[in-house]
């Protein structure tokens, strides 16, 4: 069995994410792509994330019609940081020896890989599939590797050309490139455009997700990106719902 973990904030999930997952699943014959919404990844803490439950609910809607796609609670909030290396190891413990695990990621996110927790160990733990994204050069992937894994330019003549082939294999890391994704959509753009009607939003994300955003009045803070008030009220309404359930049990 071939499995990929696709991590992100998914705030909200959009058609770019689905295209990435579909392309990877087709090319690498993946049986399952787990969409793993992050709790609060350290590099995104500056922006208030929409409540985890909402991001998960939108993923459940977006992944409903592809059997290979599964929304995952692997990185659900647990009160302490979720490190990718731990998540990967946890998943590997559930797999058979003959199974294969990949980590699926866009080139913009991969560029920060050296700042992640234990990046060398993470890259040794599973193979990566790095997907192109407009505005980011896939040719820079080698430079993004943690220094210890980065071969010196002079010891690898032709390295630049090799970067453009489908695979980067260095001792301690194997990275497959998926260079044919050219979808410009981003969650940032959707958050900024949320006042548009469902019909227009549906060009960027599944209609069911657009309808959910409207119904729950997500991303309607005074300024795009300032989600504090609305997200806060939803957290409270989730908490209220939870307390109600506890009281009636």
Instruction: By CB under 6 A, tell whether 142 contacts ligand ATP.
Output: no
The residue with tokens 């489908």 is 166
133: which strand partners?
136
By CB under 6 A, is residue 141 in contact with ligand ATP?
no
Among the listed ranges 7-15, 74-82, 93-101, 161-169, the one in contact with ligand ATP (CB under 6 A) is 7-15
The least CB distance from residue 240 to ligand ATP, in Å, is: 28
Residue 186 interacts with ligand ATP (CB under 6 A)?
A: yes
Smallest distance from ligand ATP to CB 150, Å:
20
Q: Which long-range contacts (CB under 8 A, 24 or more apart) does 53-56 make?
A: 53/238, 54/216, 54/218, 54/231, 54/234, 55/9, 55/10, 55/11, 55/12, 55/13
Among 168, 183, 212, 227, the residue binding ligand ATP under the rule CB under 6 A is 183
Tell whether residue 87 is a contact of ligand ATP (CB under 6 A): no
Asked whether the beta carbons of 87 and 75 are under 8 A apart, the reply is yes
Tokens standing for residue 65:
């019609």
Given 3, 4, 5, 17, the residue binding ligand ATP (CB under 6 A): 17
Q: Does 16 bind ligand ATP (CB under 6 A)?
A: yes
If one asks whether residue 138 binds ligand ATP (CB under 6 A), the answer comes out as: no
Q: By CB under 6 A, which span of 73-81, 100-108, 153-161, 240-248 interacts with ligand ATP?
A: 100-108
Smallest separation, CB 208 to ligand ATP (Å): 18
Residue from the set 30, 36, 58, 105 that interacts with ligand ATP by CB under 6 A: 105
Of 59 and 91, the one with the shorter C-beta distance to ligand ATP is 59
Strands of the sheet with 127-131, listed across from one edge: 69-71, 32-37, 2-8, 100-106, 127-131, 173-178, 167-170
Q: How far apart are CA 67 and CA 87, in angstroms?
A: 22
**Does position 63 bind ligand ATP by CB under 6 A?**
no
185 makes contact with ligand ATP (CB under 6 A) = yes
Q: Binding of ligand ATP at residue 165 (CB under 6 A)?
A: no
Rounded to a whole number of angstroms, the minimum distance from the CB of residue 28 to ligand ATP is 16
Of the candidates 244, 246, 224, 213, the residue with the CA atom closest to the CA atom of residue 51: 213
Q: E-strand spans in 9-99?
A: 32-37, 69-71
Largest CA distance in the chain: 69
Is there a contact between 105 and 128 (Cβ–Cβ < 8 Å)? yes
Name the CA dihedral angle for 131, 135, 137, 142, rounded to a multiple of 10 degrees: -70
Query: Could you say whether residue 88 binds ligand ATP (CB under 6 A)?
Result: no
Binding interface with ligand ATP (CB under 6 A): 8-11, 16-17, 20, 105-106, 108-109, 131, 133, 181, 183, 185-188
């Amino acid at each position: 069995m071939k499995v990929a973990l696709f991590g992100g904030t998914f705030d909200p999930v959009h058609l770019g994410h689905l295209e990435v997952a579909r392309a990877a699943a087709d090319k690498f014959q993946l049986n399952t792509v787990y969409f793993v919404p992050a709790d609060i990844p350290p590099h995104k803490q500056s922006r208030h994330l929409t409540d985890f439950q909402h991001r998960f609910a939108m993923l459940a809607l977006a992944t409903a019609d592809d059997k290979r796609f599964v929304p995952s609670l692997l990185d659900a909030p647990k009160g302490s940081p979720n490190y990718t290396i731990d998540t990967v190891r946890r998943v590997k413990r559930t797999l058979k020896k003959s199974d294969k695990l990949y980590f699926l990621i866009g080139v913009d996110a991969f560029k920060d890989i050296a700042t992640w927790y234990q990046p060398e160990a993470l890259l040794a733990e599973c193979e990566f599939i790095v997907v192109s994204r407009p505005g980011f050069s896939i040719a820079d992937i080698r430079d993004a590797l943690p220094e210890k894994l980065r071969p010196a330019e002079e010891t690898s003549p032709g390295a630049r050309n090799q970067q453009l082939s489908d695979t980067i294999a260095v001792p301690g890391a194997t990275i497959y490139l998926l260079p044919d994704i050219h979808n410009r959509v981003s969650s940032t753009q959707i958050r900024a455009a949320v006042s548009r009607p469902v019909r227009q939003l549906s060009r960027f994300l599944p209609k069911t997700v657009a309808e959910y955003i409207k119904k729950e009045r997500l991303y309607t803070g005074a300024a795009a990106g300032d989600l504090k008030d609305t997200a806060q009220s939803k957290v409270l309404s989730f908490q209220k719902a939870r307390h109600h359930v506890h009281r009636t049990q």
